[in-house]
Amino acid sequence: MQSATVTPTDHQLPQTLEPRNPGMALDLDWVRRAQANTSAIERRAKTLPGRRSVKKDYQAAWMLKAITCIDLTTLSGDDTEGRVRRLCAKARQPVSADILAKLGMPNLTTGAVCVYHDMVPTAVHALAGTGIPVAAVSTGFPAGLSPFHLRVAEIGESVTAGAEEIDIVITRRHVLQGNWQALYDEMKAFREACGNAHVKAILATGELGTLRNVARASLVCMMAGADFIKTSTGKESVNATLPVSLVMIRAIRDYYDRTGFRVGYKPAGGISKAKDAVTYLALMKDELGDRWLQPDLFRFGASSLLGDLERQLDHHVGGAYSASYRHALA
């Protein structure tokens, strides 16, 4: 039987320190020039799942890469400290030690753990010494409609509690009304409130109406200093999709070409299968290159994805599929 040990590939390169996006002055001419050819984007997106076919050790390498890019998330009204501690334990050891040993990958963690503000201290304590950052959803998540001063204060509270990453939600009406100055000012205030914590701007793309709005909102948030742009809260009826991802990724590429600063991307909601994760990674490689395959520039917002990735890796090393309950998240 062929060895299951994964050979290091170009998408397992170590991270390098990336300068943060400082933002820039709002360029309304650039924003208004941004367009989106919906039919062409949808045609391109339809080709993506079938274009890349990786097998055996190469497939396992891509799945291991996907695990390192997961923001392991629990955002439920019935979250408890015990559930968060179990989730953090899974983040520290996302795949069975036996499976990792057979793959030659003994040290593997997820990219971060994402929780509500109240659970930040629990997660910080559970992850102490691991290097795994805690991300907190903030600014009136998921609707983002609480008073502005409370949204800014919520960011400060989460940073004080130890969150190293803050996932904020924008005010959707600014986009729907084309009020780009208001969106820029809001995002800039959120970035300043985050201080040294990295900020991910959630666009809630399923509620923005058009792909053109997605493109323009992406540019404005990056101009205001977003470290990441993120598709969704996971609570909308439509979350991450390949057409939306293509629009946002190309906005990131345009911003990098113009400014020289790399901004990260986070698809969230609806990505639960290993094959979908590989498709998104292939899209990032095609459109932005290998540098964007590192967890400081790419994350999955997911809770159930890890279970399927572990099950597929178990099949890779053992030759048979195990029951899904053997790979429970927490």
Report DSSP letters for 132-194, one per residue: PPEEEE-SSTTTT-S-HHHHHHHHHHHHHHT-SEEEEE--HHHHHTT-HHHHHHHHHHHHHHH
Name the residue with tokens 């493109």. 215
d(CA 237, CA 225): 28
Catalytic residue (choose from 200, 227, 266, 296): 266
Token readout for 327 is 């790979």
Token readout for 60 is 């396992």
Question: Does 167 participate in catalysis according to the annotation?
Answer: yes
Beta carbons of 302 and 72 less than 8 angstroms apart: yes
Question: Does 102 participate in catalysis according to the annotation?
Answer: no
Residue 268: which of 72, 124, 11 has the closest Cα?
A: 72
d(CA 121, CA 132): 14
In three-state secondary structure terms, 2 is: coil
Q: Which long-range contacts (CB under 8 A, 24 or more apart) does 323-330 make?
A: 329/72, 329/87, 329/90, 329/303, 329/304, 330/74, 330/83, 330/86, 330/87, 330/89, 330/90
Question: Does 266 participate in catalysis according to the annotation?
Answer: yes
Backbone angles phi, psi at 176, to 5 degrees: -65, -30
Catalytic residue (choose from 71, 90, 230, 314): 230
Q: Enumerate the active-site residues.
A: 167, 230, 266
